[in-house]
Amino acid sequence: MSEINQQGLPVTIITGFLGSGKTTLLNQILQNDSNQKVAVLVNEFGEINIDAQLLVSYDDDMVELSNGCICCTINEGLVEAVTRILSRGEKVDRLIIETTGVADPLPIILTFVGSDFREFTHLDSVITLIDAETFTPEHFNSEVAYKQIAYGDILLLNKIDLVDREQLTALETYIASIKNNPRIIHTQYAQVPLPLILDLGLTQIDNYAEAEHREHHHHHSHHLEADGFVSLSFESDKPFDVYKFQKFLNEGLPLEVFRAKGIVWFAGSELRHIFQLCGQRNDIKSEPWSTPPLNQLVFIGRHLDTDKLRQQLNDCLATSVTV
């Protein structure tokens, strides 16, 4: 029996704030770790799981947990999903969990270090993505954004193509002020040699004993409300008018929207469009459809007027369809 088997299934948790590059990293791992059987658990805050659809391999090994956050409301779902993976006859080499951008990683960490799973799994490391362009010492006034860094064993300072040297140095100085000897790696599109992030055995279980005790006496399921994040999921089997949608992005999009992503269908186009918005930046890429066309979008932000936003999106739909 290999050393890994004796220790149980290696688990890697990928965390980081909204839009920091978690799915991009997961795709890097899946593309480069092709000799291994990787089970993936993708959790999204929103009713539609967009991330799962944007992964390079999307098959039976994927377990999606949508509409909630595994750190609180659907933690039971996490336990069930992991139990399912562990009880499959087929050998699995590792489990990777991508949390939502608004997840507190601690309850997820404790699910592995403080439960029956401890016998069958071992938490290898917690990887935290940080968007070097948008992250500031105010950490978006979000307690979870702070905790994601505090509990990260490896910090990937991502999107370095969008910042200058001074901004990077300022960020590193801030991180060093809140965390002892941080292990920081600079990345662009989350590209990192896998030996630098996998199978390192970095998570120190003993460090969590006290945290586990505290959590048992503490209700953490209200942090989303406290941070003020809400999500709107929009689906339609009618296409958007490309000009109306572009006008909406340029003039109508509420400033409160911090993150948006989705699969977009434009009237007159045969392609599926992948829409991504992080802060002030958005882009749309196109590729062929592998499913019947439809619109599926998620908008996340603080204090969103979801009714108004839904109406604005409905107004972007094309009145006549020419595909």
Ligand X SMILES: Nc1nc2c(ncn2[C@@H]2O[C@H](COP(=O)(O)OP(=O)(O)OP(=O)(O)O)[C@@H](O)[C@H]2O)c(=O)[nH]1
Q: Return residues touching ligand X (CB under 6 A).
A: 16, 18-24, 51, 101, 129, 158-159, 161-162, 188-190, 259, 261, 276, 278, 283
Instruction: Report, in Å, the least distance between residue 233 CB and ligand X.
Output: 13
- C-beta nearest to ligand X: residue: 101
Instruction: Report, in Å, the least distance between residue 102 CB and ligand X.
Output: 8
Hunting for tokens 């600079």 — which residue is that?
Answer: 186
Give whichever of 9 and 184 is closer to ligand X, judged by the CB atom: 184
| DSSP three-state, residue 113 | helix
| DSSP three-state, residue 132 | coil
Please name every residue paired with 257 in a beta bridge, in sequence order, or none if there are none.
301
Give whichever of 115 and 282 is closer to ligand X, judged by the CB atom: 282
Instruction: Report, in Å, the least distance between residue 5 CB and ligand X.
Output: 30
Beta-sheet pairing, 154-158 with 184-186: parallel
Instruction: Report, in Å, the least distance between residue 216 CB and ligand X.
Output: 28
Other beta carbons within 10 angstroms of residue 68's beta carbon come to 19
* 227 in Cβ contact with 298 (< 8 Å): no
Q: For 117, which DSSP code?
A: G
Reading the block at residue 279, the tokens are 């802060």
Reading the block at residue 6, the tokens are 């004796």
Instruction: Report, in Å, the least distance between residue 69 CB and ligand X.
Output: 11
* 200 in Cβ contact with 127 (< 8 Å): no
